[in-house]
Structure 1
């Protein structure tokens, strides 16, 4: 059935309006928990537990943020998280860029099988290696230190290696061959050519490593015993007392912990989107 140009334009407008309405509903559904966190962080202890719940508080208690910051030495936990996350991001970049370049550009009979074996490790749940890792670090007397949390990031992550390798294969081989003819070694090619041209992929890996490590709760919970070594997620858990739950302070400190993630994501958003869309273009 054919439509006149006016009818076709009217149908397109209806479809576009429906798509926008659907996007608005989905956005509201995703934003509702965040808005609930914000309003809960501004309530007093009584209003948090009242039933039926009230979305907006009768009185905004901005002092909750100050109380949350000072009640658990949050500045100490924040400094610990910044230190650990920074070291883990650096370790991930160093340990993932090198094998990704090797898988993308170096020729070897074992390259295919080794790449397949690396990808197979992505199917192993982290819980499977949890006990062996704890026993190993216990034998090395590293429990209650940052070593069990930092060291694994210097041994590579299969997902990050895969993303970087896929992006490296999109860079023209002629650039690499020209550098080799000029006498450049593999590390110089990586540093001078591949890394500058792979900023979107590196930004993607940096962002993913930052977000994943910043919000990590399980590893610090297992290995850290001293409160002064706690990270932000463990600090938030301190608000769950034995006899009372200070939900308003938990929401306040959770929102403060969310700020660095939002800032880093907004700063790297353009490179992150480009890195995600570019990886996987070449499947060599």
Structure 2
């Protein structure tokens, strides 16, 4: 009996502190979730406003105080908006430009990052510093000389000015992608390269068979950034495209706005439809996206 009583006292003494520690942890986790939900509300509010506006008539959209529930739901805004303009053609044009830019950016930026991170050559750090200095140059400064250059080459009203810069690492905002991939490549052990070189592999083979397969998260991050940037690009198509048959989705959305009247219902519905591919892309690739961002810069 004495032994049983001692055991019960020991259990009681051991359980009480554990339960006391669990409660603060639970409260802390609840507070964390509440803070995250509260912080997500300002981020989700514009998207909710877009969706509710896409399902409203123009007369209901700007009433005060604002109404959040459409009465009635204007589902016809989506069908009429997508048929008012040839959005199917705009979608094809946008996908063509985005795919070419993604392929060019991933290939050239990864090759440049491989050279800066895995190869040894004189002046490597100096060239990389000069490349990074291009980030400090505002995009607005290069608009006029770049436009004049494409005009002299006869490339206006074509997809060339929108796609060719992606095939030159560092052009078209690719400096950040080179930096991101370089930092990720530095986390891969150099012993793998040395073992491959001992077996007679060339630098190109090391890049293609070792570095690239191990850098899938970083490659997906660059793919997402490039695709979203190309998909949402408005200034580039506005400068270089004149034929309406070559318009992208961003220019198609702008066609709903005019000097005298703006078809807000159609504009909101078309905008919501254009956002869907971006949301779906991030939804399916978010695991690789988060992994690529968190692992960049962490060695070994």
Q: TM-score range by the shorter chain?
A: over 0.9
1:96 to 109, 112, 116: 109
Give the CA deviation at 1:48. Answer: 1.9
Over alpha carbons, which structure has the higher Rg?
Answer: 2
1:125 correspondence with 2:138: yes
1:92·1:209 contact (CA, 8 Å) conserved in 2?
A: yes
C-alpha distance in 2, partners of 1:179/1:9? Answer: 51
1:113 correspondence with 2:130: no
Which structure 1 residue ranges, 5 or more long, are not aligned? none
1:166·1:282 contact (CA, 8 Å) conserved in 2?
A: no
- 1:174 counterpart residue number: 191
C-alpha distance in 1, partners of 2:282/2:27? Answer: 34
2:222 to 197, 205, 225: 205
Relative to the length of structure 1, the TM-score reads 0.94
- 1:71 counterpart residue number: 84
Give the CA deviation at 1:13. Answer: 4.0
Deviations 1:186-206 (A, max 9, x none): 111111111111111111111
1:251 correspondence with 2:264: no
2:242 to 218, 225, 230: 225
Deviations 1:7-48 (A, max 9, x none): 665544443333222211111221111111111001112212
Relative to the length of structure 2, the TM-score reads 0.89
C-alpha distance in 2, partners of 1:85/1:32? Answer: 28
C-alpha distance in 2, partners of 1:104/1:18? Answer: 43
1:150 correspondence with 2:167: no
Residues 181, 10 of structure 1: CA spacing in aligned structure 2 closer, same or farther, 3 A cutoff? closer
- 2:152 counterpart residue number: 139
C-alpha distance in 2, partners of 1:134/1:282? Answer: 42
1:176·1:189 contact (CA, 8 Å) conserved in 2?
A: yes
Give the root-mean-square deviation of aligned CA atoms. 1.6
- 1:21 counterpart residue number: 34
Which structure 2 residue ranges, 5 or more long, are not aligned? 1-15
C-alpha distance in 2, partners of 1:53/1:20? Answer: 29
1:100·1:165 contact (CA, 8 Å) conserved in 2?
A: yes
Q: How many residues align?
A: 280
